[in-house]
Amino acid sequence: MYRCTRNDRERVSASHAISQGISADGGLYVPESLPRYTHEDLIRLSHCTYPERAARIMSDFLPEFTREELLSCANAAYAKEKFSGNSPAPLSLQQKGQKNLYILELWHGPTCAFKDMALQMLPHLLTRSLHKTGNPRTAVILVATSGDTGKAALEGFRDVPGTRILVFYPMHGVSNMQKRQMQVQEGSNVAVCAIEGNFDDAQTGVKRIFTDPAVKAKLEEHGMMFSSANSINWGRLLPQIVYYFSAYCDLIATGEIDRPGEEINVTVPTGNFGNILAAYYAKEMGLPIHRLICASNANNVLTDFLRTGVYDKNRPFHATLSPSMDILVSSNLERLLYHLTGGNSAQVAAWMKELAASGRYVVDASTLEKIRSLFWAGFCDDENTKASIRSMYETEHYVCDPHTAVAVHVYDQYVEETKDLETPAVLVSTASPYKFASGVLEALTGEKPLGDDFACVDELAAMTGAPVPEPIQALRGKAIRFTGSCPVSGMSDTVLSMLV
Ligand SMILES: *Cc1c(COP(=O)(O)O)cnc(C)c1O
């Protein structure tokens, strides 16, 4: 069963948590208890394929689903046509100095960013959850995106029976590559619209539509209901736990790990705290992780929090080379606080209230001590991001994207400060370098590129020889389908005209 982070009295099933997305009081759903895995379990898992690993681990959290059902979801989500290569989450070994560094590449899916790992699975979990809760209506997914989430959600939900998806993006707030990815979106149940405003306008507009009684009534008349695909949905977090287990199993399979309980370090480029929270759950489930290393960009609110226990979003917002981590309020942190306080929902609710009122809260000494025993935190500005991209290329001939480069730099800081060279290190790579080709090219050449995004892709490919992912190549030939835009005040009308 699942609990709510802000309210002791709420206790819901997995399918309810997933179809609902967020609790009515704004709290997030968290599992009441966690399964434990032994070394023997991990050895057994190491003989399995990725979809089998996913079905095994997810079945512990979804008792209303059979193992066969989850295996068929995982086989569909991680099919070869969607994720190129032998595994959807391969480990690539780099020798960094004397250290063995394993890069967990999570960008081999249809949109070339790690959000595919969850958003290819969520539609299966969501539609089946709606069915299990006796809700036969069509789920309408509304998304406000600043870039990666919109495209990944569109790809995940395209042509999924029983769903419609509408994405709003800020007209001038996404990169050209990201805009093009969305404008050419295929599928019979999808729509995309630019709004005349920034990301906050889009987000506020979507939230307003979610709770607009007139729009809701209209949807109900037509047998539809709103649902959410954003990263606070448990159905997006759960598939992310799998790849940490999978990485460890791969290290067992190659012989890098040969002792029961042998620990690894995990470094995660972090924004909304979803990805690294999945690693925390894996650790609590018995996966031997020594330190969870949290890497932030210049928006370093998490670095300060994990070191001092003071969360303070009252600071300048920086637009960086790693835009998917430009976040000052990390929603999923709330789940960690719930677990570390032993499920003290009153305390969590009070901190979240302070955050909403003043942008700041301070945790108690015992919570801070727990945080510091689990996490190590650092940050990396744009100059160091570029330097990391350059040094990974020059010394290892590995081309990494700016988000991954932030993690590389912070991992280097960790080793420098702790001298912990022995623990095998897994570093999470969250995007293909070709998705952010102009930033990567600038890092490698030292000059701002002049051409458009596709020219940067070609130049980067010619320079490095790294293969261009098929979904990025395919974008060039695709017809543009969605060029519409609307003012913020017209969003409800747009939604209704697209749907009914
Ligand atoms: C979303 C995203 C992140 C941040 O992940 P969180 O789960 O929000 O911490 C990092 N890198 C890329 C490329 C992303 O798209």
Condensed to tens digits (0 to 9), the pLDDT of residues 429-487 reads 999 999 999 999 999 999 999 988 899 999 999 999 999 999 999 998 899 999 999 99
Residue 6 contacts residue 27 (beta carbons within 8 Å)? yes
CB contact at 8 A, 486 and 197:
no
296 CB within 6 A, ligand 1: no
> How far is residue 112's CA from residue 197's CA, in Å, rounded to a whole number?
26
Which CATH number describes the domain made up of 90-111+237-469?
A: 3.40.50.1100
| Listed residue (355, 254, 273, 301) closest to 264, CA to CA | 254
How many other C-beta atoms lie within 10 A of the C-beta of residue 252?
A: 17
Residue 170 · residue 178 · CB < 8 Å: no
The answer to whether residues 320 and 298 touch, using CB atoms and an 8 Å cutoff, is yes
Reported as a single tens digit per residue, the pLDDT across 245-268 is 999 999 999 999 999 999 999 999
In one-letter notation, the amino acid at residue 130 is L
Please give the distance, rounded to the nearest whole angstrom, from the Cα atom of residue 270 to the centre of ligand 1: 6
Please name which of 336, 318, 453, 445 lies closest in space to residue 381, comparing C-alpha atoms.
318
Determine the average pLDDT of the residues in 96-111. Answer: 88
Is the pLDDT assigned to residue 102 strictly greater than 90? Answer: yes
- Size (the chain), residues: 500
Residue by residue, DSSP assigns 213-247 as HHHHHHHHHTTEEEE--STTSHHHHHHHHHHHHHH
Q: In this predicted model, what pLDDT tens digit does every residue of 17-42 receive, in sequence order? A: 998 888 888 889 999 999 999 999 99
478 C-alpha to center of ligand 1: Å?
Answer: 26
298 vs 90: CA distance, rounded Å:
29
Residue 399: band (very low, low, confident or very high) from pLDDT cuts 50, 70, 90: very high
- Mutate which of 175, 296, 325 for ligand 1? The one with the most ligand atoms within 8 Å of its CB, which is 325
Find out whether the beta carbon of 148 lies less than 6 Å from any atom of ligand 1. yes
From 105-114, 326-335, 458-467, the region with the lowest mean pLDDT: 326-335
In this prediction, residue 432 carries a pLDDT of: 95
What's the predicted TM-score (pTM) here? Answer: 0.94
**pLDDT for residue 98 is more than 80:** no
Confidence band for 405, pLDDT divided at 50, 70 and 90: very high
Cα(402) to ligand 1 centroid in Å equals 11
CA angle 424, 426, 432 (to 5 degrees): 150
| Span 66-85, average pLDDT | 94
Quick check: CB of 272 below 6 Å from ligand 1? yes
Domain spans in the chain, listed from the N-terminal domain onward: 90-111+237-469
* Burial environment of residue 485 by CB neighbours within 10 A (0 to 12, 13 to 18, 19 or more): middle
pLDDT digit string, tens, across residues 147-199: 789 999 999 999 999 999 999 998 887 878 889 999 999 999 999 999 998 87
φ/ψ of 267, rounded to 5, equals -110, 130
DSSP classification of residue 253: H
Residue 452 to residue 450: CA distance in whole angstroms: 7
The whole-number pLDDT of residue 167 equals 95
pLDDT at 348: 97
Q: What is the pLDDT of residue 97?
A: 66
- Alpha helix stretches (DSSP H) within 255-273: none
403 lines ligand 1 (CB under 6 A): yes
CA–centroid distance, 299 to ligand 1, in Å, is 13
| Lookup: tokens for 37 | 């895995």
Atom of ligand 1 nearest to the CA of 275: 7
Q: Does residue 54's CB lie within 6 angstroms of at least one atom of ligand 1?
A: no
- The residue whose CA is least distant from atom 11 of ligand 1 is 430
- Looking at ligand 1, which residue's alpha carbon is closest to its atom 8? 272
The tokens for 116 are 């595919």
Average pLDDT, the chain: 93
Hey, which residues are catalytic here?
A: 115
